[in-house]
Amino acid sequence: MFLDEMSFCRSSAACDGDILDGFFCEYTTRFSRAYAPFYARLSQDIGAKPIDAGLRALSMDCASRGE
């Protein structure tokens, strides 16, 4: 998933966080909110750790920057 790749890119410092935020923060935050119930249910049903952990981290990080 593209957003997981963005999360990895930011966490590994391979990408510039300010550029990612400028282009994708609003979209990432809306996507994370919209699909959080689906990902929570899917994670519970398959017995996995939260499969949207990278997405949530990315959206919380950019939101905390005030984007």
The residue with tokens 């957003």 is 3
pLDDT digits (tens, 9 = 90+) for 6-26: 888 888 999 898 898 889 989
pLDDT at 65 over 90: no
pLDDT digits (tens, 9 = 90+) for 26-50: 999 999 999 999 999 999 999 988 8
- Could you tell me which residues come within 8 angstroms of residue 23 by beta carbon, excluding any fewer than 6 positions away? none
Tokens of residue 12, six digits: 């590994």
Model pLDDT, residue 35:
93
